[in-house]
């Protein structure tokens, strides 16, 4: 059996064309089949009622369409939606849908768990289980499109569970599926890959011709501070990362979670400004998700505003994101951890980021 949903649209078309030809089907059938993968998806081939029943039965046998099952769905008072998906092998990953006006941004996962162990991330507490397939990655968008075409995401960010560049082979294909006109058809500038900076794979991402966006999980302006928060600093150092970003031809966003007493001082803001200015980078300042980071506290609002102001005073474009999904388990990995450990984080501790 071939997983068509883990192939690029061009490769899926080739596979289906060869199969149809071997069956002696008319050539026009391919034009009926390919849109049912991504553009106008069906749950199963049996639901593609414009096709003859014998053909649908054969398709379901040879090319079954993999699904993600909703294990939990939470809706915040602000409209943010959190999905916990169960995969075919029983593993689970999360997505967060954030509506804002006509824009609907879906934060998607690329791995089951994460091996990087960033201290402020709930996903890091569960360790790494496996990589997602391209179909499981892009399938998070497909499932919402299946629910309602009107709610289909307009923007996608790889900011869910896992480090995308540690699953580059699958993410590379998933990017094509998300962007391709015969795939999900989302514009490249509406797709953002977030990474801690896995340098060899970052170079491969930079070579792609599409104008995909890059966000770098920085979270500290010095090596010593970053090593305390992010163990990856030991392998790919901050100077090496910044050197790689200098050669990136598109604008970079620097992600910076503000943690009380750790990285939120005005001295840290000064150091961050010296990093961001040469890159002409946008700095996204993010309130910490306290429910997903035991032992850490979010910076007080006044500290966050002062930090943002110091960056702007130094000529850096900075945005302090407002929290979303405060009444649901919106921190990355938090809902899965709660389900597995049977614990519930108090509602006031939940935080989601726009």
143 and 275 assigned to the same domain: yes
186-219: pLDDT as tens digits: 999 999 999 999 999 999 999 999 999 999 999 9
The answer, yes or no, to whether residue 313 has pLDDT greater than 80, is yes
Boundary of a domain, candidates 35, 62, 89: 62
Q: Based on the structure, what is the number of domains in the chain?
A: 2
The last residue of a domain, from among 41, 62, 83: 62
User: Is the pLDDT score of 340 beyond 80?
Assistant: no
Catalytic annotation on 94?
Answer: yes
Answer yes or no: are the C-beta atoms of 269 and 95 closer than 8 Å. Answer: no
C-alpha–C-alpha distance, residues 7 and 135, integer Å:
8
The pLDDT value recorded for residue 350 is 29
Please say whether the beta carbons of 285 and 318 come within 8 A: yes
Quick: pLDDT tens for 56-76.
999 999 999 999 999 999 999
52 and 75 share one domain: no
What band does 121 get if pLDDT is binned at 50, 70 and 90?
A: confident
Same domain, 327 and 347: yes
Full-model pTM: 0.91
Instruction: Read off the CATH number of the domain in which 165 is found.
Output: 3.20.20.70
**pLDDT for the residue numbered 127:** 86
In a shared domain, residues 110 and 189: yes
SS3 277: helix
Query: What band does 291 get if pLDDT is binned at 50, 70 and 90?
Result: low
Residues 127 and 11 in one domain: no
The active-site residue, picked from 25, 94, 163, 233, is 94
The set of long-range contacts for 303-308, using a CB threshold of 8 Å and a minimum separation of 24, is 303/258, 303/260, 303/264, 304/258, 304/264, 306/266, 306/269, 307/258, 307/264, 307/266, 307/268, 307/269
Q: Tell me, yes or no, whether 23 and 87 share the same domain.
A: no
pLDDT at 327: 58
For residues 11 and 141, membership in a common domain is answered with: no
**What does the pLDDT average to over 273-284?**
96
- Out of 121, 255, 332, 338, the active site residue is 332
pLDDT in tens, 125-154: 788 899 999 999 999 999 999 998 889 999
Is 332 a catalytic site residue? yes
pLDDT tens sequence across 217-241: 999 999 999 999 999 999 999 999 9
Residue 271's CB: how many other CB atoms inside 10 A?
16
The answer to whether residues 48 and 142 belong to one domain is: no
Same domain flag for 186 and 116: yes
SS (H, E, C) 336-352: HHHHHHCCCCCHHHCCE
13 and 157 in a single domain? The answer is no
Whether residue 324 sits in one domain with residue 213 = yes
Q: Which range of residues forms the domain containing residue 45?
A: 4-62
Do 249 and 319 sit in the same domain of this protein?
Answer: yes
Last residue of a domain, one of 62, 85, 112: 62
Please enumerate in sequence order all residues whose Cβ is within 8 A of that of 202, keeping only pairs 6 or more positions apart, or say none.
165, 195, 244
Q: Is the dihedral of CA 289, 299, 100, 282 positive or negative?
A: negative
pLDDT value, residue 123: 77
């Amino acid at each position: 059996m071939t997983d068509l949903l883990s192939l690029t649209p061009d490769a899926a078309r080739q596979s289906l064309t060869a199969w149809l030809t071997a069956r002696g089907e008319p050539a026009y059938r391919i034009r009926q089949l390919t849109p049912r993968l991504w553009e106008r998806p069906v749950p199963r081939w049996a639901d593609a009622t414009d096709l003859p029943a014998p053909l649908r039965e054969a398709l379901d046998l040879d090319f079954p369409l993999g699904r993600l099952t909703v294990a939990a769905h939470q809706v915040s008072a602000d409209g943010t939606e959190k999905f916990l998906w169960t995969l075919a092998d029983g593993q689970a990953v999360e997505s967060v849908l954030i509506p804002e006006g006509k824009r609907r941004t879906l934060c998607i996962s690329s791995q089951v768990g994460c091996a990087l162990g960033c201290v402020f991330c709930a996903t890091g507490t569960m360790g790494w289980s496996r990589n997602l397939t391209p179909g499981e990655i892009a399938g998070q968008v497909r499932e919402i499109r299946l629910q309602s075409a009107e709610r289909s995401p307009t923007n996608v960010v790889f900011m869910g569970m896992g480090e995308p560049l540690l699953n580059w082979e699958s993410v590379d294909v998933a990017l094509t599926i998300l962007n391709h006109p015969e795939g999900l058809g989302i514009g490249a500038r509406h797709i953002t890959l977030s990474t801690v900076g896995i340098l060899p794979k970052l170079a491969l991402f930079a070579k792609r011709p599409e104008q995909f966006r890059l966000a770098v999980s920085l979270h500290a302006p010095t090596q010593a501070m970053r090593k305390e928060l992010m163990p990856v600093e030991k392998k790919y150092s901050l100077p090496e990362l910044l050197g790689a970003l200098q050669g990136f031809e598109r604008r970079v966003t620097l992600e910076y979670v503000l943690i009380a007493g750790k990285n939120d001082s005005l001295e840290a803001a000064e150091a961050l400004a010296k990093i961001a200015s040469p890159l002409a980078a946008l700095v996204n300042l993010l309130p910490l998700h306290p429910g997903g980071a035991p032992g850490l506290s979010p910076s007080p609002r006044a500290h966050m505003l002062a930090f943002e102001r110091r960056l702007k005073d130094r000529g850096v474009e900075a945005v302090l994101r407002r929290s979303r999904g405060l009444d649901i388990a919106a921190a990355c990995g938090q809902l899965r951890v709660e389900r597995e450990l049977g614990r519930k984080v108090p509602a006031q501790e939940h935080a989601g980021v726009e």
